Amino acid sequence: MAGISATALSVAREDLETRLPSAPLSLAEELFSILSVLDSNAGLRRALTDPARDRESKVNLVSNLFAQQVSTDAIAVTAGLASARWAAARDIGDALETLAGLTAISVAERRGNGSEGLDSLEADLYAFKRVVASNHELQRALADGRADDSAKANLAKKLVPGASEEARLLIRQAVVAPRGLKPSGVVERFIELVGERQQRWIAEVSVSRPMSQIQLSRLESALNGLYNRDLTVHVAVDPALVGGIRVKVADEVVDSSVITRLNELGRRMAG
């Protein structure tokens, strides 16, 4: 996904982030159910992504179709997608799949007190992927378009009997609605989303010279307080920094290195 569709998804993810602290797993289930309707109705996808159609009519269409079936949060998320601009009609479905996956992942994150929950979810998804990859009969059974969805879902559940509720939901979605991919390919996409989420718990720190254990402990304490979570801190020495420190957590960078301050001063002097 690129261009205006990538921008639309980025905005939608930011909006979803405000809902995730209290979002139940049922929200992910509802978003997947709406995705099923979109995937089965090309006319609806076109109506929701038609740039000539005004925003209000799209929002009303979403509300009229789904208000009696899903929560207000699911309506709001879907209406937000419908209000955006998309390069292709399929992109809105891809975005909805991503948001539903992120919701389930966030629930696992909260249930497992952060990174431990994400690690557990990732392990469950990898376990399914490994089992399927090692058995060609399973691959054919799960990819059989003539097979009943319930039968596929039950088979998948048996492959990872100890998986969490969040993992079972994501695996079920992968086997009943692979959307043109192999089920293992969809699971791999969910694993990638878990990896992105895990970066929120990792601080990549660059310093100009090695830190003492006391300095490292103080840094860890300061970062945990700043981000209000127990981060895993990875420190690397980079002499090019000259002095100071550079911290990256997910997509956020905090940079106080001397070279950065000199470059910033140079830009101000030049302009």
Report pLDDT digits (tens) over 92-145: 999 999 999 999 999 999 999 888 999 999 999 999 999 999 899 999 999 888
C-alpha closest to that of 121 among 22, 228, 195, 26: 195
Cα separation of 181 and 184, whole Å?
8
Average pLDDT, integer, range 209-220: 90
pLDDT greater than 70 at residue 55: yes
More confident call, 75 vs 254: 75
Q: Which range among 31-35, 60-64, 207-211 shows the weakest confidence by mean pLDDT?
A: 207-211
Q: How many CB atoms lie within 10 A of CB 13?
A: 15
2-26 tens-digit pLDDT: 799 999 999 999 999 999 999 999 9
Name the fold adopted by 200-270. Glutaredoxin (3.40.30)
Residue pair 108/118 in contact by the 8 Å Cβ criterion: yes
Cα separation of 113 and 111, whole Å?
6
Q: Where are the domains of the chain?
A: 3-198, 200-270
Residue pair 103/28 in contact by the 8 Å Cβ criterion: yes
pLDDT for the residue numbered 224: 87
The secondary structure of residue 231, as a DSSP letter, is P
| Residues 24-28: contacts with CB under 8 Å, at least 24 apart | 24/107, 25/103, 25/104, 25/107, 25/165, 25/166, 25/169, 26/71, 27/71, 27/73, 27/74, 27/77, 27/103, 28/100, 28/101, 28/103, 28/104, 28/107, 28/166, 28/169
Q: Which two tokens stand for residue 61?
A: 């269409």
Strand blocks (E) in the chain? 202-207, 232-237, 245-249, 252-255
- In a 10 Å sphere around its CB, with 0-12 CB exposed, 13-18 middle and 19+ buried, how is residue 106 labelled? buried
pLDDT for the residue numbered 244: 78
Tell me the pLDDT of the chain averaged across its residues: 91
Strands 245-249 and 232-237: unpaired
Average pLDDT, integer, range 62-69: 95
pTM for the model: 0.84
pLDDT for the residue numbered 202: 84
Residue pair 129/174 in contact by the 8 Å Cβ criterion: no
Question: What is the amino acid identity at position 263?
Answer: N
pLDDT for the residue numbered 186: 96
Cα separation of 79 and 62, whole Å?
6
Q: Which two tokens stand for residue 170?
A: 């994501």
